[in-house]
């Protein structure tokens, strides 16, 4: 009966361990944290910091070796070296254009899914968005090389519709076109947009869905037309979702180096440049300095997106 204040414990080391955990909760925390933390420090954070530290070292171009002399030359080159600036500009522009394209193309789908679809149709739409999202990246890239090829589908279709000349005209526009569709800026943007479109659709859809119905009713009650309600209520409230989606489209484009090699005009992206520098050339310091750019840019973009409420939308 209730005469004992303490319950007789089953003896054993496990019970003793639990008692110790009660008296020393921090100990448990460290025991849980140690394995993953050590892994991340050893295989991610510390090597990354070591690498970034290398950006301050000198690369001797004559002997093709790295010398232990500190210099800011590699970092300065990011601003002064024309070819590097070129690379940074190209990568940044493409990332921005792709983000805009994904936003424009993805918003109608997200809007429809959030406001007009329900039940089984909606579930199927989810699957229809997730399947291309999770389908193998390299397979998708490969598929586009097939589609955009000179003897491929798009060229054939445009030819059959009599739009062959229109295609040539578009390809002639500098900054947009190229020699062929698969070596044009347009083609590259198209592929990137395809790759990241689902990543834009899902957060925007979630964001729109979260808008309480009674806000729309209130807007209507106060005399707004559907168009006004859309512009003044729905669009502003879907900004967190758009910001969240833009994190993916921007950052993923910014760091990609496979698609630019496969599609688009020649000219490096940051990723390809980093790969080249640390590869055959062995210019680790310059590669490291280049790596700083995506880190800084991504950090800035994340900070901006957080201000717009993206993390609440994820």
Q: Which of residues 273-312 bind another protein (CB under 8 A)?
A: 274-275, 278, 287-288, 291, 294-295, 298, 302
Cα distance between residue 230 and residue 208, in whole Å: 11
Q: Which of 27, 64, 69, 131 is in the footprint of another protein by CB under 8 A?
A: 131
Of the candidates 287, 299, 278, the residue with the CA atom closest to the CA atom of residue 87:
287
Judged by beta carbon, residue 138 or residue 169, the one nearer another protein is 138
Residue 2 interacts with another protein (CB under 8 A): yes or no = yes
Binding-residue total with another protein (CB under 8 A): 102
Pick one of 103, 260, 271, 285: the residue that binds another protein (CB under 8 A). Answer: 271
270 scored as a contact of another protein (CB under 8 A) = yes
- Please identify, using beta-carbon distances, which residue of 82 and 139 lies nearer to another protein: 139
**Interacting residue with another protein among 63, 68, 136, 266 (CB under 8 A):** 136
23 binds another protein (CB under 8 A): yes
Distances in Å between the alpha carbon of 158 and those of 148, 164, 165, 171, 189?
12, 6, 9, 13, 19
- C-beta of 199: minimal distance to another protein in Å? 12
How far is the first Cα of the chain from the last one, in angstroms, to the nearest whole number?
A: 52
Please tell me whether residue 82 binds another protein under the rule CB under 8 A: no
Site for another protein in 197-256 (CB under 8 A): 197-198, 216-217, 220, 223, 225-226, 229, 251-252, 254-256
Cα gap 103→243, rounded to integer Å: 10
Among 21, 93, 121, 215, binds another protein (CB under 8 A): 21
Please, which of residues 152-191 interact with another protein by CB under 8 A?
152-153, 156
Residue owning tokens 């050590």:
38
- Closest to 137 in 3D by CA, of 247, 262, 246, 302: 262
For residues 292 and 294, what is the distance between their CA atoms, to the nearest angstrom?
A: 6
For the CB of residue 174, give the shortest distance to another protein in the complex, in Å: 26
- For another protein, the closer CB: 169 or 296: 296
Type and span of the H or E element at 49 = helix 46-54
Please enumerate, as own/partner, the contacts of 116-120 that have beta carbons within 8 Å and a separation of 24 or more. Answer: none
């Amino acid at each position: 009966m209730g005469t004992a204040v303490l319950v007789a414990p089953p003896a054993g080391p496990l019970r003793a361990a639990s008692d110790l955990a009660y008296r020393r909760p921090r100990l448990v925390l460290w025991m849980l944290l140690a394995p993953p933390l050590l892994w991340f420090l050893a295989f991610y954070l510390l090597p990354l910091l070591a690498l970034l530290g290398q950006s301050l070292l000198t690369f001797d171009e004559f002997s093709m070796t790295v010398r232990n002399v500190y210099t800011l030359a590699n970092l300065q080159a990011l601003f002064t070296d024309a070819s590097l600036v070129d690379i940074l500009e190209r990568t940044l522009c493409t990332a921005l254009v792709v983000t805009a394209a994904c936003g424009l193309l993805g918003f109608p789908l997200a809007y429809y899914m959030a406001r007009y679809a329900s039940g089984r149709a909606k579930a199927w739409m989810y699957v229809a968005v997730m399947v291309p999202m999770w389908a193998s990246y390299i397979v998708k890239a490969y598929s586009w090389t097939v589609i955009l090829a000179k003897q491929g589908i798009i060229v054939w279709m445009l030819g059959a519709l009599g739009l062959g000349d229109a295609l040539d005209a578009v390809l002639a526009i500098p900054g947009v076109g190229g020699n062929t569709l698969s070596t044009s800026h347009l083609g590259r943007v198209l592929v990137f947009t395809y790759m990241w479109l689902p990543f834009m659709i899902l957060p925007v859809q979630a964001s729109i869905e979260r808008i309480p119905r009674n806000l729309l009713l209130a807007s209507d009650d106060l005399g707004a037309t559907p168009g006004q309600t859309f512009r003044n209520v729905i669009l502003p409230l879907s900004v967190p979702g758009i910001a969240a989606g833009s994190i993916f489209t921007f950052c993923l484009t910014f760091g990609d180096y496979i698609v630019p090699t496969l599609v688009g005009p020649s000219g490096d992206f940051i990723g390809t440049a980093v790969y080249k520098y640390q590869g055959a050339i062995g210019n680790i310091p310059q590669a490291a300095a280049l790596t700083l750019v995506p880190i800084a840019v991504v950090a800035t973009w994340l900070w901006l997106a957080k201000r717009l409420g993206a993390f609440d939308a994820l």
